Amino acid sequence: MVIMPFFKKKVYDPGSSVGKYKIIRLIGEGRFGVCYLVDFNGKEYVLKVIKSKAIKKSGNKIIFEEEILSIINYPLIPKIVDTIKDDKIYAYILEYKRGKTIEDMIFGDKHIFTPDEIFNIGIKVIEIIKYLHERNIVHRDIRVPNVIINGDEVYLIDFGLARIINNDKYIPPVDFLYLGHLLIHLYYSSFEKTNKKSKPWYEELELSKGELKFLRKLLELDDAYRSIYDVEGDFKELKVVQDH
């Protein structure tokens, strides 16, 4: 059994150091950790400091992220390169992937995603899910703040909720639900509301029959997907139909 230390929350200012890593700036804060951009020997990394309240609430479950990241080697997922653990801090050092989250692009930049962009993002995320599921890992948190875009590159971050698939609580279709909601966010980026009365997404969005069927299956509103390979095949078929 791993005993996790409890420590007071500390904010690291630019210019301060955590071990051998120098703080450049705060990147953001999630439910489990606070992320900083740091420098070591002229190279930039991400320092993810796990929140004390997350440790108190989740206990030893908090180590799953570190364990899972340690067995992942995929270019679209930041690698874990170091850990810092003592009586004052529990943190890890991750590869820094440049770009913006989909959340920042939609709500900050008001970016409107084109059909080609939506396909590129969707197929890259599906590739990541496929890689994870082939290794019996389910991410469980594929949301707009956890997907980074840099040109044509797409990265998936934040493995705080990731678990080993056990075919009970942690099952592959959970990721399909998240993928469906992610794609709906992308479609909504070009939506212009003309009616004061809100409608469900499947009535508001101008979707083809194929897109509607695909999203409804992802969200388990109709016959649900059980395999990422079926998801991939149907999504690629949408692109073929779209191009004709």
- Does the CA dihedral 162-66-74-153 come out positive or negative? positive
Other Cβ atoms closer than 10 A to 57: 12
Contact of 178 with 140, CB cutoff 8 Å = yes
From the list 39, 104, 141, 222, the catalytic residue is 141
User: Using the 8-state DSSP alphabet, how is residue 6 labeled?
Assistant: -
Which string of DSSP letters, residue by residue, matches 38-54?
Answer: EEETTEEEEEEEEPHHH
Q: How far is CA 134 from CA 125, 138, 157, 221, 234, in A?
A: 14, 10, 18, 25, 19
Q: Quick check: is 141 catalytic? A: yes
**Per the annotation, does 110 bind a ligand?**
no
32: tokens are 């489990």
Backbone angles phi, psi at 154, to 5 degrees: -130, 130
Question: Catalytic residues, which ones?
Answer: 141
In the annotated binding site for ATP, the residues are 57
In the annotated binding site, the residues are 57
